[in-house]
Chain A
Amino acid sequence: MKEIKLVFTGSMGAGKTTAISALSEIPVINTDVSATDEVIARKATTTVALDYGEMTLSDGQKLRLYGTPGQQRFAYMWKILMQGALGLIILVDNAGENPLGDLELYLNHFHEDIEKTTAVIGVTRMDLSKKPNLAAYNDFLRKRNLHLPVFSVDVRRKQNVIMMVQALVAMLEY
């Protein structure tokens, strides 16, 4: 495998654009525009098409990193961006109103992709909200008969994001 396409998805404000920016060796291509709805209370801009970045692993494998828009009305982009992807990183904002509900939404939408490839879960902003904790996420996944790794991550820290990506790549290889 010389090149691997990975997709970052997850709830609005969970940190998809930030995660790709933390990893990318090239200037990130993004399609952020001014938010005009309730999003504006949390952030000034929102992604409406995709984010794109690239990184190279120590063994020379190139990763192509795509980020989806978070809001459900852009779900047609989720399908487009998953074409040819080998793995999915689902980011969940733990300080959101219903983090497990958000996770459920993305698991439901991407369940066919997860069956064909694999996924990891990154829980962000756990410093602002401790609950649900990682055990609750693992219970939630187990009840759905899913065995996916769950990480607490600060997507501003490159090493945190690399840890998730390496776990995903390792799952693809073995």
Chain B
Amino acid sequence: MLSLEQQQLLNTKLKTLLEHSEEISAALVTTVDGHLCAMHQQRNYSLDRLATMGSSLMSLGDTITAELKMGNCRNLISENESGIVTFMHINNLLVLITITLQKNALGLLLAHSRKAAEEMAKLL
């Protein structure tokens, strides 16, 4: 779906995101139908599987939001015992997923992820 050049741009953007935000331990871009397009991580997560699962979750978020007539789903947050995962649209075909292991970094994670998503949308 994306050209190699576009994938490289996204990979570079994700690398920058992690360099500027030490709290973020992994970030990836997936298509809305679950294909991993770009990733960068400081851990060893299975990001292929996370890409597919993220597309399911984002779709459920969109479906719930539409059911409640709340406009577009801005983001989904999974707050967990050992960290936080956020999911948000870059555009109507791509989703950004970011992970932090710091339980108190939700605001920072959302702010940095939102900014990165907006910049990636402009890049494409």
Contact = CB atoms under 8 A, between A and B. Distances in A.
A48 B34 contact: yes
A102 B38 CA distance: 30
A18 B109 CA distance: 39
Interface stretch (B7-15, B56-64, B72-80, B116-124): B56-64
A28 to B, nearest CB: 11
Interface residues of A, number: 20
Interface of B: 1, 31-35, 49, 52-53, 55-57, 59-60, 62-63, 67, 92-93
B66 to A, nearest CB: 10
A76 B63 CA distance: 19
Contacts, number: 53
Given A36-B93, A37-B1, A74-B56, A30 B33 contact: no
Contacts of A77: 56
B88 to A, nearest CB: 15
A50 B57 CA distance: 10
A34 B60 contact: no
Given A36-B93, A49-B60, A74 B35 contact: no
Contact of B56 (A29, A36, A48): A48
Interface string A64-79: 0000010101101100
Contact of B33 (A34, A50, A76): A34
B53 A76 contact: yes
A34 B92 contact: yes
A48 B34 CA distance: 8
